[in-house]
């Protein structure tokens, strides 16, 4: 690995089956049983599945009906996002005891840069172990962690010993680790890309590393350069504690398809109210309003309008969404409607300049 690239101590913490685990924690009768968070009806979708349910093949984003067929004894619970956010905040407060460089990816996972940390502990592995122990003792849930020199490798490593485990990829082990990795394990390589790589004879990190940057650019476009670098352990993205929000949205999937625009307007009113509440709570506003429409045949359509001013008011959002709804006739009955605001005023905000401290590229410090 080139000496010019900084080596950081990055931890990726990933809660184990977070939503389902919270439900099992709050309702002891669910412990040890297959649990799915989400809807069980004809139009329901699984948001999360417990490990007991995963043994039957139940996965997130799966339809409730399919999940039930795979696991007849599956227990469905409703999503409780307020509760998940409450627990997530407790967990993040534990993170902040060790470092201010915390980048949440979602309610249940985050990156931590502990190259320099509040405990003065030189071992990122020991810090990860301590954090996981505290989450279990103070919150009651288990977490897994990956530890390595950058975010990409830490993310892959956190999935290695799930649930309730951790894996450290030391600096000197990075290249052998990546070379022996199945290409499907590479973070950022989805199912479609993996199939394409298989067709090109790329099955492992070693296969990927054998390809030139020109070859990867030709076959994978802009992503080719990314693949070329990460398989060599090069990923310079820093942990960003203040991620700037680019958009904010709310959407609803309906139990029955809507064919009347009158019924759609009623649903849009509730969605606009929800978007407005989220904007106000986040203290942001936006100029571009986008209406998302998913038809009964699962085709998707978006219609957007950019206003000359920032808005967060529900009535303005609703009126714009109405205009977009009537912009053209419906192609089919509708199963989902959503409203999002982008071009937010956060884009105008600038971060305070901070001095970037040089990070040692030596391999002698403990992981």
Cis ω for the linkage preceding 4 (within 30 of 0): no
DSSP 309-365: EEE--HHHHHHHHHHHHTTS--SS-EEEEEEEEEEEGGGG--PPP-PPPP----S-S
Do residues 2 and 16 touch, judged by C-beta distance below 8 A?
A: no
Beta carbons of 144 and 17 less than 8 angstroms apart:
no
Name the residue among 225, 230, 206 with its Cα closest to residue 215.
225
CA dist., res. 59 & res. 171, Å (int): 34
Q: Which residues contact 136 (CB under 8 A, 6 or more apart)?
A: 142, 143
Question: What is the secondary structure of 133-196 as a DSSP string?
Answer: HHHHHHTS--EEEEEESSHHHHHHHTTTT-SS-EEE--GGGHHHHHHTSBGGGSTT--HHHHHH
Active-site position among 23, 29, 109, 138: 109
Residue 109 is a catalytic residue: yes
The CA distance from 364 to 76, in Å, is 50
Contact between residue 302 and residue 289 where contact means Cβ atoms under 8 Å apart: no
Collapsing DSSP states into helix, strand and coil, what is residue 269?
helix
Catalytic residues: 109
């Amino acid at each position: 690995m080139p000496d010019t690239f900084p080596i950081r101590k990055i931890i990726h913490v990933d809660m184990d089956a977070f939503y389902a685990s919270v439900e099992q924690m709050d309702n002891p009768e669910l412990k040890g049983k297959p649990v799915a968070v989400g809807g069980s009806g004809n139009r329901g979708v699984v948001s999360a599945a417990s490990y007991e349910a995963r043994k039957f093949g139940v996965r997130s984003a799966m339809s409730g009906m399919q999940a039930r067929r795979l696991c007849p004894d599956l227990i469905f619970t409703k999503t409780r996002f307020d509760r998940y956010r409450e627990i997530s905040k407790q967990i993040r407060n534990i993170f902040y005891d060790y470092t201010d460089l915390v980048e949440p990816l979602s309610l249940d996972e985050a990156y931590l840069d502990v190259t320099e940390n509040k405990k003065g502990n030189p071992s990122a592995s020991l810090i990860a172990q301590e954090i996981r122990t505290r989450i279990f003792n103070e919150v009651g849930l288990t977490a897994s962690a990956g530890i390595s020199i950058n975010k990409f490798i830490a993310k892959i490593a956190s999935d290695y010993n799930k649930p309730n485990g951790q894996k450290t990829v030391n600096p000197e082990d990075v290249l052998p680790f990546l070379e022996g990795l199945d290409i499907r394990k590479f973070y950022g390589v989805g199912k479609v890309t993996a199939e394409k790589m298989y067709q090109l004879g790329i099955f492992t990190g070693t296969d990927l590393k054998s390809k030139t940057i020109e070859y990867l650019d030709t076959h994978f476009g802009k992503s080719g350069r990314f693949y070329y670098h990460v398989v060599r352990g090069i990923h310079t993205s820093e942990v960003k504690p203040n991620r700037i929000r680019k958009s904010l949205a709310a959407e609803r999937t309906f139990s029955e398809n809507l064919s009347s625009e009158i019924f759609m307007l009623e649903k849009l009113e509730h969605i606009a109210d929800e978007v407005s509440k989220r904007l106000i709570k986040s203290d942001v506003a936006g100029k571009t309003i986008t209406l998302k429409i998913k038809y009964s045949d699962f085709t998707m359509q978006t219609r957007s309008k950019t206003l000359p001013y920032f808005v967060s008011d529900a009535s303005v959002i609703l009126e714009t969404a109405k205009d977009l709804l009537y912009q053209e006739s419906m192609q089919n009955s509708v199963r989902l409607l959503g409203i999002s605001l982008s071009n937010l005023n956060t884009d105008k905000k600038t971060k305070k300049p901070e001095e970037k401290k040089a990070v040692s590229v030596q391999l002698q410090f403990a992981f």
